[in-house]
Structure 1
Amino acid sequence: MATEDDDPRVRRLGQYIRLQRQMADLSLRGMADLTKVSNAYLSQIERGLHQPSLRVLQAIAKALDIPPDTLLAEAGLLSKPAADPAAGPRSRTEEAIRSDPDLTAEERDALLRIYRSFVEGRSPGA
């Protein structure tokens, strides 16, 4: 019987979730409390031993303040968005802020709020 850890997509998803959790300065137990998923199961997901269900992915996305479609794309359940000139730069900027390991969770949240306040209501390319 092949295990899910044989699938590089499952390992990549687990690594992505672990990195996002660590950058959010969130313990495994803390994320378990937020997601209502056991910390043992979350640990298995992060190690690439299990492909989480859609419900679990959505709970993880909410706990980590990541757009669910980003996590679904990392899981291979949704194709990654094409380079859309209208949405591309903004999503890349927000993703860069969310993934910067030098920022604390509070700093990332503050920068995202400030960035969004600058770009809200602007027309694409303005």
Structure 2
Amino acid sequence: MSDADPFPMSMGELIRRQRELAAVPMRQFASMVGISGPYLSQIENGLRAPSEQVLRNIAEHLGVPVSDLVDERTEDDTDSEEAMRDLIKADPNLTAAQRRALTEVYVAMVTTTRVQRAATG
């Protein structure tokens, strides 16, 4: 994750984050979904787009709706996330490493909250 793009919200990144939050190793998750490890790696790295069926299998095994894996943030979501990123970047009391770490924690929390909200309706 670079300082220039601390909010990578591609489908692959969302899939990777949800898999990591579920604490499932890549090879194990690929096997659960019925695809190869290299194919899952390519999806997570944005090199390949999954077919509709593979995307449905991924969502099912992550326990999230397919729509949660597709970046459907509203303008308000984007504005608030941008504001938080700007605050983190502007804090003179943080080192570059601390900024990156804080941003990663923030993104993980926001993603987790979205998934929990979607799961509860």
Length-normalised TM-score, structure 2: 0.53
Structure 1 residue identity aligned to 2:56: Q
Q: Which has the higher contact order (CA 8 A, sep 6+)?
A: 2
**CA contact 2:55–2:66 (8 Å) conserved in 1:** yes
Q: Kindly state the Cα deviation for residue 41 of structure 1 after the two structures are TM-superposed.
A: 0.1
Quick one: percent identity of the two aligned structures? 35
1:66 aligns to what?
64
**CA contact 1:61–1:68 (8 Å) conserved in 2:** yes
2:38 aligns to what?
40
**CA contact 2:68–2:115 (8 Å) conserved in 1:** no
Structure 1 residue identity aligned to 2:17: L
Aligned residues: 79
Say what the alpha-carbon RMSD is for the aligned residues: 3.3
Length-normalised TM-score, structure 1: 0.51
Residue segments in structure 1 that go unaligned for 5+ positions in a row? 1-10, 84-94, 100-111, 121-126
**CA contact 1:70–1:80 (8 Å) conserved in 2:** no
1:16 aligns to what?
14
Which ranges of 4 or more aligned residues in structure 1 deviate by more than 6 Å?
A: none
Structure 2 residue identity aligned to 1:25: A
Structure 1 residue identity aligned to 2:58: I
**CA contact 2:10–2:46 (8 Å) conserved in 1:** yes
Pairing 1:29–2:46 present = no
Q: Kindly state the Cα deviation for residue 30 of structure 1 after the two structures are TM-superposed.
A: 1.3
Residue segments in structure 2 that go unaligned for 5+ positions in a row? 1-8, 77-111
**CA contact 1:15–1:47 (8 Å) conserved in 2:** yes
